[in-house]
């Protein structure tokens, strides 16, 4: 894998540890540091519309890895009907996935690293119809990437770890680690030392 994207692999995918990491991250994002997240908040978070789609996504991928493709597709279809999100069952996604909102989101990436945040209306996929699901035609997303509402990330490109994609951006080429991509077509801008994008 390219040095441009540091990411965990999902080769060691285990359902419960991944779900626990997803739930903890969702609670930290919504309620503050991990010290401030009580066990009650964690259990209540299981019912959150920000967590249930992640739960269904993980179940679908788990069934896919168990070679139970039809069951995986049924779970994925349930996610689509309930939350308006379509996630390819074969796409490995690292721990800590957070979906603040889901409606209109399509995730057909080659792979997604840890601690990704994906807002509503995002499309991650091929530029043209790709039923064979090839790495060369689908995005690879690094660790800690945030993708803003309505963004489209298309083709066999890499979003480097820590990069941020602005709302409604159309990304057609690689984004280096730590940079911000905005516009149509998206262009990258440097971050200032304090973490804000350069003006």
Domain count, the chain: 1
Distance set, CA 193 to CA 145, 175, 184, 196 (Å): 18, 18, 25, 7
Tell if the pTM clears 0.75, that is, is over it: yes
In a domain, 20, yes or no: yes
CA 38 to chain centre: 25
Q: CB of 89 within 8 A of CB of 64?
A: yes
CA 181 to chain centre: 16
Q: Of 142, 178, 138, 144, which Cα lies nearest the Cα of 157?
A: 138
In a domain, 86, yes or no: yes
In a domain, 135, yes or no: no
In a domain, 196, yes or no: no
In a domain, 147, yes or no: yes
In a domain, 2, yes or no: no
CATH code, 36: 2.160.10.10
Tokens encoding 73: 């597709």
In a domain, 133, yes or no: no
Domain of 122, in residue numbers: 15-128+141-189
In a domain, 173, yes or no: yes
Please report, in tens digits, the pLDDT of each residue of the chain (199 residues total): 444 454 454 567 888 889 888 888 887 777 666 555 555 665 666 677 888 999 999 999 999 999 999 999 999 999 999 999 999 999 999 999 999 999 999 999 999 999 999 999 999 999 988 788 888 899 999 999 999 999 999 999 999 999 999 999 999 999 999 999 999 999 998 764 454 444 3
């Amino acid at each position: 894998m390219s040095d441009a994207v540091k990411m965990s692999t999902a080769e060691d995918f285990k359902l419960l540890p991944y779900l626990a990491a997803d739930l903890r991250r969702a609670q930290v994002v919504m309620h503050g540091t991990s010290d401030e997240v009580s066990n009650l908040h964690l259990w209540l978070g299981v019912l959150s519309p920000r967590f249930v789609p992640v739960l269904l996504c993980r179940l679908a991928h788990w069934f896919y890895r168990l070679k139970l493709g039809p069951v995986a597709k049924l779970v994925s279809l349930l996610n689509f009907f309930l939350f308006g999100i379509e996630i390819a069952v074969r796409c490995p996604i690292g721990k800590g996935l957070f979906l603040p909102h889901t409606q209109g989101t399509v995730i057909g990436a080659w792979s997604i690293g840890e601690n990704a945040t994906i807002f509503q209306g995002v499309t991650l996929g091929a530029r043209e119809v790709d039923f064979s699901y090839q790495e060369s035609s689908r995005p690879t997303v690094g660790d800690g990437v945030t993708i803003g509402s309505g963004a489209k990330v298309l083709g066999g490109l890499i979003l480097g770890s820590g990069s941020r994609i602005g709302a409604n951006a159309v990304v057609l080429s690689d984004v280096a680690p730590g940079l911000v991509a905005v516009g149509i077509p998206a262009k990258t801008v440097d971050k200032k030392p304090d973490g804000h994008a350069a003006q």
